[in-house]
């Protein structure tokens, strides 16, 4: 991950920005782009399917429950702000680096 992901630590949660690419061949982390985490999603951006897929993927990747992952802004945009409770910035980066390999 050559670029650096911008993460805000807030008490017991982290906040960061994600750029999603829906209708990809598979769901995976695609790297970092301009301080944002780029994630390819297999789901289509209709009826909330891409958002649901994003929450499922992040929860699974980071080892947290789905209700710990919140899309705080950008529900209808490809650029979304994500808040994850119960994860530190260090563990977030560590788990994302493992997933990018």
Residue 81: inside a domain: yes
User: What's the pLDDT at 1?
Assistant: 43
Contacts with 38 (C-beta within 8 Å, 6 or more apart), sequence order? 18, 19, 20, 21, 29, 30, 31, 32
In a domain? residue 20: yes
Query: Residue 68: beta bridge partners?
Result: none
Specify the number of domains making up the chain. 1
pLDDT in the model for residue 69 = 98
What is the residue range of 54's domain? 7-100
Residue 94 within any structural domain of the chain: yes
**Model confidence at 88: pLDDT above 80:** yes
What does the mean pLDDT of the chain come to?
92
SS3 94: helix
Per-residue pLDDT of 29-69, as tens digits, reads 999 999 999 999 999 999 999 999 999 999 999 999 999 99
Query: Is the separation of the CB atoms in 69 and 53 below 8 Å?
Result: no
Residue 95 has pLDDT above 90, yes or no: no
CATH code of the domain in which 64 resides: 3.30.1200.10
Q: Is residue 2 part of a domain?
A: no
DSSP letter (8 states) at residue 73: E
Higher pLDDT, residue 57 or 3: 57
- Residue 70 maps to a domain: yes
76 falls within a domain: yes
Q: What share of the chain is helix, strand, coil (3-state, %, to 5)?
A: 30, 35, 35
Is the pLDDT reported for residue 73 higher than 60?
A: yes
């Amino acid at each position: 991950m050559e670029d650096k992901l911008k993460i805000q630590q807030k008490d017991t949660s982290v906040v960061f920005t994600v750029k999603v690419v829906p209708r990809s061949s598979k769901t995976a982390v695609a790297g970092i782009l301009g301080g944002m985490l780029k994630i390819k999603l297999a789901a289509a951006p209709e009826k909330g399917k891409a958002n649901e897929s994003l929450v499922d993927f992040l929860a699974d990747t980071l080892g947290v429950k789905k209700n710990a992952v919140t899309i705080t802004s950008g529900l209808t945009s490809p650029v979304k702000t994500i808040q994850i409770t119960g994860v530190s910035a260090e563990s977030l980066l560590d788990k994302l680096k493992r997933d990018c390999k």
